[in-house]
């Protein structure tokens, strides 16, 4: 039930909150340096991000299962400071199973937490991704990407937070997706 709420009902509820109260963002950020790969799991997003990561000016980190949920929390958690929000987000990113092969540690988030004046959700995500790109050896990144399968449920929230970002929607025949999942050991489709 919790998963259904977070994926289906929460995005609609957030849009109502933003409509009634306005965006939590203090300023509109231009996110034209960001793109999202949107689609279900097993659709080729990992392959596409691997190809794009070969370009020296593009960085797409591995999957994580936190930031899409925090896009909803950003608008709902209006009573806490941006610093507290970032601490909660970074704590969750450090939990086992919340990311796939991310190599950030508490020291990385401590350095990021020293930054002042967060004004938008875009700035928080941008700083995390750029720091990670730098740590992975990409110093001159011009485009950042996000490819988590959860984006299929939350892209409309990111659309309002990341003004000017680009979206790549991947579509694959559902039968092929199910067949691909059936090859994954221990998956429900198996």
pLDDT digits (tens, 9 = 90+) for 122-156: 988 999 999 999 999 999 999 999 998 888 888 88
Return the residue matching tokens 């203090």. Answer: 26
The side-by-side arrangement of strands in the sheet containing 34-38 is 58-59, 143-146, 34-38, 166-169
Percent of all residues in the chain with a pLDDT value above 70, rounded to a whole number: 92
Provide the whole-model pTM.
0.87
Give residue 190's pLDDT. 62
Contact 147, 63 (CB under 8 A): yes
Q: Note the pLDDT of residue 75.
A: 83
The radius of gyration computed from the CA coordinates of the chain, to the nearest angstrom, equals 17
Residues of the chain with pLDDT under 50: none
Task: Determine the pLDDT at residue 171.
Answer: 92
């Amino acid at each position: 039930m919790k998963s259904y709420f977070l994926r289906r009902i929460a995005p609609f509820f957030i849009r109502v909150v933003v409509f009634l109260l306005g965006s939590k963002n203090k300023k509109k950020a231009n996110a034209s340096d960001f793109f999202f790969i949107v689609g279900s799991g097993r659709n080729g997003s990992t392959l596409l991000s691997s190809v794009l990561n070969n370009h020296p000016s593009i960085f797409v980190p591995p999957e994580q299962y936190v930031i899409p949920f925090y896009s909803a929390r950003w608008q709902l958690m209006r009573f806490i400071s941006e610093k507290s929000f970032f601490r909660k987000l970074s704590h969750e990113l450090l939990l086992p199973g919340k990311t796939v092969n991310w190599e950030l540690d508490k020291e990385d988030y401590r350095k990021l937490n020293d930054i002042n004046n967060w004004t938008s959700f875009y700035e928080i995500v941008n700083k995390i991704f750029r720091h990670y790109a730098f740590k992975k050896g990409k110093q001159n990144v011009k485009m950042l990407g996000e490819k988590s399968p959860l984006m299929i449920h939350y892209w409309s929230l990111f659309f309002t937070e990341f003004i000017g970002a680009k979206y790549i929607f991947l579509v694959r025949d559902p039968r092929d997706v199910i067949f691909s999942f059936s090859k994954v050991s221990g998956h429900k489709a198996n």
